[in-house]
């Protein structure tokens, strides 16, 4: 396990260099002049030129890349062009907010999706399975901003149970904070449940029909005992990779939900900095998200190894 972790951790810097090159190249390709964008259409050509020199944009791309990467690695992330605050404060603040929302959604998602998947798998091809599978597919195919709008209209506008904005007031109690986050989190759970439940269902069917489940039943165990002792673990292990994919999505791809619920997350920051050509913010945000992705993938693999002795101990160890 330690060797595995070391090997995987060692691979992260290499991947990051590749990611940084892609991120940098992509930001270079954004059309339009950065200095012009900052100063506005009315600014004089000489002022724009001066700003470009000041920002170092007149230097060759390779130099700027090396400078930027060096700065990123050593923690000098610079200031935002448009907001004039340190990028680090901005990104970490938004990242914290996004993590909070993503983790809440994830914590709600796991039990719901795994339970539904198990129920569907154990009753496969029966009505319960059909209902769960079709519902999951339907919700999965509905964009999160559509379900989000419906949730908003019902729970916030009509019933007035929950606030419409996800922005948490600074002096909010934990319960209030939860109230603010519940609607966006729910719209994400509704979106992701079908996908995870399908994975769990498939591995549950395999486990239920396996020879070891059959053997246990022949030994006189009840169906419930067989499910609890043999099906549960074998069915959920393969689902960890599906959950990892969902967590990645929740951490980075929430632009629509953040905008809809007016939530200050990192997705909205990424979008805004791209529109504003705020290069330091854009590049740093992209890199931080990249690191987060890799850690989530690694985390999912580690969980898989912990849960599955065949992977943990190696098949070759006979």
Partner 1 sequence: MSGERGLRVDGLTVAYETARGPVEAVSDVSFEVAAGETYGLVGESGCGKTTLGRALGRHLPRGGAITGGRVSVDGTDVLALAPAELRRWRASSLAVVHQEAGSALDPTMRIGAQLAEVLRLQGRTRREARMQVPRLLDRVRLPDPEAIARRYPHQLSGGQQQRVVIAQALAARPRLLVLDEPTTGLDATVQHEILGLIWALRAELGAAVVFISHDLALVGRLCDRVGVLYAGRLIEEGPAGEVLATPRHPYTSALLASAPQLGRTRRTHPLAAIPGRPPAPGEAGTGCAFAPRCTYADDTCRAGLPPLDMVSGRRTVRCHHAANLIDLSHDGPAARAEPTAVDGGGRLLEIQGLTRHYGGTPVVDDVDLTINRGEVLGLVGESGSGKTTLARAVAGLGPQGSGVIRLDGRELAAGVGRRDARIRRAVQMVFQNPDASLNPSHTVRTVLARARRSLRGTLAPGELAARADLDAYLLDSRTDRLSGGQKQRVAIARAFAGDPELVVCDEPVSALDVSVQAGVLRLLADQQRRTRTSYLFISHDLAVVGYLADRIAVMYRGQIVEQGPADDVLAGPHHPYTASLVEASLAPLGKADAYAVGDVTAKDAVGCRFAARCPLRVDGLCENEDPPLITLANDHTVRCHLDATGLPEATALEGET
- Return residues touching partner 1 (CB under 8 A): 210-212, 214-222, 229-230, 233-234, 237, 307-310, 313, 315-318
Which residue is listed with tokens 């007016």? 262
Minimum distance from CB of 193 to partner 1 (Å)? Answer: 25
Number of H-type helices and E-type strands within the chain: 16, 0
| Token pair in block for residue 308 | 């599955």
Q: CA 256, CA 306: separation in Å to the nearest integer?
A: 35
Kindly tell me which of 236 and 248 has the beta carbon lying closer to partner 1: 236
Kindly tell me which of 54 and 225 has the beta carbon lying closer to partner 1: 225
Kindly tell me which of 169 and 309 has the beta carbon lying closer to partner 1: 309
**Beta carbons within 10 angstroms of residue 18's beta carbon:** 10
Minimum distance from CB of 225 to partner 1 (Å)? Answer: 8
The alpha-carbon radius of gyration of the chain (Å, integer) is 24
Kindly tell me which of 59 and 214 has the beta carbon lying closer to partner 1: 214
What does each C-alpha distance from 34 to 51, 100, 231 come to in angstroms?
Answer: 9, 32, 57
Minimum distance from CB of 305 to partner 1 (Å)? Answer: 12
Which residue is listed with tokens 């400078």? 67
Q: Do the beta carbons of residue 258 and residue 144 sit within 8 Å?
A: no
Kindly tell me which of 49 and 310 has the beta carbon lying closer to partner 1: 310
Minimum distance from CB of 228 to partner 1 (Å)? Answer: 11
| Token pair in block for residue 36 | 């012009």
Kindly tell me which of 29 and 316 has the beta carbon lying closer to partner 1: 316
**Beta carbons within 10 angstroms of residue 74's beta carbon:** 8
In sequence order, which ranges of 123-173 are alpha helices (DSSP H)? 127-141, 144-151
Minimum distance from CB of 315 to partner 1 (Å)? Answer: 6
Which residue is listed with tokens 């719209």? 187
Minimum distance from CB of 147 to partner 1 (Å)? Answer: 36
């Amino acid at each position: 396990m330690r060797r595995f972790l070391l090997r995987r951790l060692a691979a992260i810097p290499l991947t990051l260099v590749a990611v940084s090159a892609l991120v940098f190249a992509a930001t270079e390709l954004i059309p339009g002049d950065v200095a012009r964008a900052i100063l506005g259409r009315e600014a004089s050509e000489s002022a724009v030129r001066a700003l470009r020199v000041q920002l170092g944009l007149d230097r060759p791309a390779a130099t700027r890349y090396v400078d930027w990467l060096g700065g990123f690695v050593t923690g000098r992330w610079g200031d935002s062009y448009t907001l004039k605050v340190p990028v680090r404060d901005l990104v970490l603040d938004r990242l914290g907010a996004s993590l909070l929302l993503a983790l809440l959604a994830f914590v709600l998602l796991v039990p719901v999706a795994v339970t539904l998947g198990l129920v569907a798998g154990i009753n496969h091809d029966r009505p319960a399975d059909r209902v769960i599978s079709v519902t999951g597919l339907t919700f999965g195919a509905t964009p999160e901003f559509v379900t989000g709008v419906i949730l908003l209209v019902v729970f916030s506008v009509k019933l007035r149970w929950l606030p419409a904005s996800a922005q948490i007031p600074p002096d909010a109690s934990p319960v209030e904070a939860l109230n603010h986050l519940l609607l966006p989190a729910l719209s994400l759970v509704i979106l992701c449940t079908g996908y995870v439940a399908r994975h769990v269902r498939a591995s549950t069917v395999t486990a239920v029909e396996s020879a070891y489940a059959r053997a246990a039943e022949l030994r006189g165990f009840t169906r419930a005992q067989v499910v609890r002792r043999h099906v549960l673990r074998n069915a959920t292990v393969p689902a960890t990779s599906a959950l990892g994919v969902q967590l990645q999505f929740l951490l980075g791809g929430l632009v629509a939900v953040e905008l809809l619920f007016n939530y200050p997350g990192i997705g909205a920051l990424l979008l805004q900095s791209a529109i504003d050509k705020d290069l330091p913010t854009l590049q740093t945000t992209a890199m931080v998200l990249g690191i987060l992705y890799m850690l989530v993938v690694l985390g999912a693999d580690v969980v898989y190894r912990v849960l599955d002795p065949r992977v943990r101990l190696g098949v070759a160890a006979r």
